[in-house]
């Protein structure tokens, strides 16, 4: 047998170096290399047929799904858990990952499916206390506090494969096949590999919990992200009770869906109508607040964009954005200045998406611009009005997708007007009743609309 080798593995990206160095050549992280001992790689016999080859043209059915009946969870996965698939759930400590997963386990167990929850972090009593609080002690979830994957896999092979296996968390798991210390990249990768092999061969769905570092990366095992079928993150804003489950990668479904939950004294509760959650000033006339009719994945979502502009005492005014891309903010400010003559150059500008939501859609440009113009001019926006549209560098407002879904969601929540891009190429379907749309071809028109003493009281017929 070949002798074990020593190598230095970057704990941040998994790159291997032959000797220690202060900085990883691959990802540039400092002090991230850790000495690890690796065993000799196993050699396959190299003779005979080991596996079957398939014709790619053979028709396959879409993967069957196991629905948990927690809709917000199922939707993010693309319609439920896919048997034999592996999901990585990342999130900061204390955000509610264990709570979410024990509820998912409970929901599946209630459908008389075998569910196994392995905790490497908490003792049996802690997990039982939480389950009691959630009313799930008698749900029939099988539980163990264990950290060695070989033991877990051997124990599971004793019975039928579970419909769902949860490993909380992957950083606490270790395998006897590699000699590195627990928590190192080599260990985490080795443990994940063994578990993924178990899931793929038995058809059990596997969920791995992963901690994230402060900058939002799944700590250590970035490598694990490449080994799994789907990566989701569970996020929340400090001090607020709602939590967002976001798909970051999904081999079996869309990767831009979100699920919204609220953390209550009795666990996580689904929020079926999240738009209402992210609107607070609905109806009040405060300058600097615009409502954006957005889309998160397949679902429309209304969000409030707040802007504050104030004359700056500084030579270089401050520009800050929370929940909004700072580069897009800079672009919108430049377009407002160049195309609509808004003199924001000597003003501090703050832009915030209320409720801790993050907006990545260019369609939010028009709403952001409306909030900025409103704050700058001190004039509040028309009441019960939503905005959407992308702003081009020429100042033109570009059409965006899903305008009908946006309008319908706004109408559902009691909004009666919408400022939209001109000639949105949508099927000529009639818009929602009681919704007056006003088309806005240029940013200058937006400024005129907000500054004009006469409010767009009537629809322009579009
Ligand atoms: P937890 O699921 O342990 O977080 P994670 O696994 O991501 O570290 O959740 C911990 C927090 O959730 C803790 O601060 C208490 C809170 N919580 C509730 O508010 N209500 C509940 O019913 C439960 C179980 C937890
Ligand atoms: Mg936990």
Q: Which domains does the chain have, with CATH numbers?
A: 5-38 (no CATH), 71-272 (3.40.50.300), 277-451 (3.30.230.10)
**Cα-flanking dihedrals φ and ψ of residue 54, to 5°?**
-110, 155
Is 130's C-beta closer than 6 angstroms to any atom of ligand 1?
A: yes
CA angle 45, 46, 50 (to 5 degrees): 85
Residues of the chain under the 70 pLDDT cut: 1-3, 39-47, 59-60, 62, 213-221, 237-239, 280-284, 424-430, 453-462
**Backbone CA torsion sign across 284, 285, 288, 294:** positive
- Please give the pLDDT value at position 459: 40
- Please give the pLDDT value at position 291: 94
Q: Which residues pair with 269 in a beta bridge?
A: 262
- Please give the pLDDT value at position 460: 40
Instruction: Residue count of the chain, please give it.
Output: 462
Question: Cβ of 42: how many Cβ atoms within 10 Å?
Answer: 6
**Cα-flanking dihedrals φ and ψ of residue 89, to 5°?**
-110, 110
Pocket mutation for ligand 1, best pick of 96, 102, 241, 242 (most atoms within 8 Å of C-beta): 96
- Please give the pLDDT value at position 185: 83
- Please give the pLDDT value at position 41: 55
| Residue 322 CB burial class (10 angstroms; 0-12, 13-18, ≥19) | middle
CA angle 235, 240, 241 (to 5 degrees): 75
Ligand 1, atom 25: nearest CA belongs to which residue? 267
461 neighbors 440 (Cβ within 8 angstroms): no
Ligand 1, atom 11: nearest CA belongs to which residue? 94
- Please give the pLDDT value at position 215: 58
b (16+ CB within 10 A) / e for 78-97: bbbbbbbbbbbbbbbeebbb
Q: Where are the beta strands (DSSP E) in 179-331?
A: 205-211, 230-236, 242-250, 258-264, 267-270, 289-296, 299-311, 319-322
CA of 105 from ligand 2 middle (Å) equals 14
- Please give the pLDDT value at position 103: 96
Q: What is the pLDDT of residues 72-89, one digit of tens each?
A: 999 999 899 999 999 999
Output the six-digit token pair for 200: 């793929």
């Amino acid at each position: 047998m070949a002798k074990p080798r020593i190598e230095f593995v970057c704990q941040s990206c998994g790159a291997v170096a032959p000797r220690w160095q202060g900085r990883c050549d691959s990802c540039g992280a400092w002090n991230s290399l850790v000495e690890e001992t690796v065993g000799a790689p196993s050699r396959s016999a190299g003779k005979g047929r080991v596996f079957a080859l398939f014709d790619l043209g053979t028709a396959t059915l879409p993967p069957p799904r196991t629905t948990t009946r927690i809709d917000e969870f199922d939707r993010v996965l693309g319609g439920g858990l896919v048997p034999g698939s592996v999901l990585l759930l990342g999130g900061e400590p204390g955000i509610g990952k264990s709570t979410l997963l024990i509820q998912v386990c409970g929901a599946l167990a209630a459908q008389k499916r075998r569910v196994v929850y392995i905790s490497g972090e908490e003792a049996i009593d802690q997990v039982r206390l939480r389950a009691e609080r959630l009313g799930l002690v008698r749900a029939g979830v099988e539980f163990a506090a264990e950290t060695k994957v070989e033991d877990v896999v051997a124990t599971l092979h004793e019975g039928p494969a579970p419909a769902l296996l949860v490993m909380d968390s992957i950083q606490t798991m270790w395998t006897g096949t590699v000699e590195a210390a627990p928590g190192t990249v080599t260990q985490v990768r080795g443990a994940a590999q063994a578990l993924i092999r178990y899931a793929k061969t038995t058809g059990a769905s596997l969920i791995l919990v992963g901690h994230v570092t402060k900058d939002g990366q799944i700590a250590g095992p970035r490598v694990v992200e490449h080994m799994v079928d789907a990566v989701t993150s569970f996020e929340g804003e400090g001090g607020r009770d709602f939590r967002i489950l976001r798909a970051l990668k999904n081999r079996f479904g869309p990767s831009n869906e979100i699920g919204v939950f609220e953390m209550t004294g009795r666990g996580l509760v689904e929020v079926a109508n999240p738009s209402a959650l992210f609107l607070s000033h609905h109806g009040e006339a405060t300058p600097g607040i615009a409502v954006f009719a957005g889309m998160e994945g397949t679902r429309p979502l209304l969000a409030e964009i707040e802007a504050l502009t104030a004359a700056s005492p500084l030579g270089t005014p401050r520009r800050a954005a929370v929940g909004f891309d700072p580069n897009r903010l800079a672009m919108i400010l430049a377009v407002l200045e160049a195309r609509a003559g808004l003199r924001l150059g000597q003003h501090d500008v703050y832009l915030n998406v209320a409720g801790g939501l993050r907006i990545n859609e260019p369609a939010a440009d028009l709403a952001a611009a409306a909030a900025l113009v409103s704050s700058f001019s001190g004039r509040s926006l028309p009441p019960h009005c939503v905005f959407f549209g992308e702003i081009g560098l020429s100042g033109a407002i570009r059409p965006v997708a899903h305008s009908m879904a946006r309008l319908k969601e706004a109408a559902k929540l009691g909004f009666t007007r919408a400022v939209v891009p001109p000639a949105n190429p949508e099927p000529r379907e009639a818009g929602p009743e009681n919704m007056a749309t006003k088309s806005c071809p240029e940013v200058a028109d937006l400024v005129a609309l907000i500054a004009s003493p006469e409010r767009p009281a009537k629809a322009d017929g579009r």
